[in-house]
Structure 1
């Protein structure tokens, strides 16, 4: 099996009030790559938040006593910390230059997923309010325009427990199941798999992150073509919730 990954090169800088579906359609047409059955479009979450005018204006925030205290522990700006608290259900851990929280969307990640890069001075972008909804709307529009079954995944850059470095991670999806349950299949020796579940959307997001980059690459939309398991995982009712571990199953927060 082989797959192809390529970035859309004509995505403009977005500062708000933009229709991402139309922007992606026009970029595809300009690049001449069209869409084919099984294409998976991966979109950086910052692009979604900016287009939906989901900004945090840091200068307008007044840090609370809790924010000031946490800022001292983490070595962060109290206004950023206040933004983190505003976007979180719970503070999980505090360390040097990071605050691990459970976001209002249910993700456990550093700094509530708030991004200060690739945005204007004095602004930050939180995670999209509903990345699944955004992914579904974009998928349905592009499927209507190009007449092909595709999937859309919204990605974020997140760290992982007990490992340095960040990778692309799925925070919203539509058209493809985020988890591939392979329980009952056989391994190379004929043994039946008993617990194997693959976070397929995260794997695809990590692959796309190699093209998107983290600096000035300017490629916030990547298309993955030729993923052989698309039809098996096709699901128009999908969302990201199956990958989120409930607190009751999280042995580190019990």
Structure 2
């Protein structure tokens, strides 16, 4: 088994709506002497993609609904941000404010099916005060556009993933997860294979895409302007998987 390399792709400038992100990533890869090889996987924090696609909302332009005002009062949150969260959500799973907490929390099911705090609406690294950034409208399609452009430019076969940082309900801290896939398997099924002692594996399915996303967090720094990472040496086969495949079906939700 070959070693796995993780490289930060340096030099990406501030991204603005309308920028050709794939071309900019390609330029950075060349300047860093990294290029691309068959089997490489690129991960990108979704925010640079969201910025390029104009998924930024000015809070001054938001008129809170009655529902947003009610949540805002209960949770001590900005009603305009709550309104954006509600627009991005199909339902509020839970809303709470613990004693001593300055601001409450909204756990929401995003229109893409992801369940996270504030429907992934974020105020950090937006590039402008008084704005919030949303997830891309179609993260898989966004990843695929970057993949196709870079494959054509470098003459290689690669995978591309978009990531976001999510908390875990029963563990402290956050990790990156995959929210958009192009070519990269969502999971790798080990069912039917055997363990080191010859026992047949019945349910083992490593979350391949999420494992890569989490590993990218080891080198990406929010204050370092290094949202793109290159993985080299991974063992994988190209597929047509989509990020939605990693969502657990509602019928298997043990906590509803």
The reply to whether TM is greater than 0.5 is yes
Residue 62 of structure 2: aligned partner: 61
In structure 1, distance between residues paired with 2:171 and 2:73: 25
Aligned residues: 248
Q: TM-score, normalised by structure 1?
A: 0.95
Residue 85 of structure 1: aligned partner: 86
Q: What does 1:144-163 correspond to in 2, within 5 Å? A: 144-163=152-171
Shift of 1:15: 2.2
Unaligned residue ranges in structure 2 (runs of 5+): 98-103
Q: 176, 184, 187: which is aligned to 2:184?
A: 176
CA deviations 1:129-152 (Å, max 9, x no partner) are: 000001111111111111111100
Shift of 1:85: 0.1
Q: TM-score, normalised by structure 2?
A: 0.94
Shift of 1:185: 0.9
In structure 1, distance between residues paired with 2:246 and 2:74: 31
Determine if contact 1:99/1:110 at 8 Å carries over to the other structure: yes
Matched, 1:142 2:150: yes
Unaligned residue ranges in structure 1 (runs of 5+): none
Determine if contact 2:41/2:230 at 8 Å carries over to the other structure: yes
Residue 243 of structure 2: aligned partner: 240
In structure 2, distance between residues paired with 1:132 and 1:88: 19
Matched, 1:252 2:255: yes
CA deviations 1:3-41 (Å, max 9, x no partner) are: 111111110011211111101111111111110111110
Runs of 4+ in 1 over 4 A off after TM superposition: none
The DSSP-based 3-state class of the residue aligned with 1:198 is coil
In structure 2, distance between residues paired with 1:250 and 1:213: 33
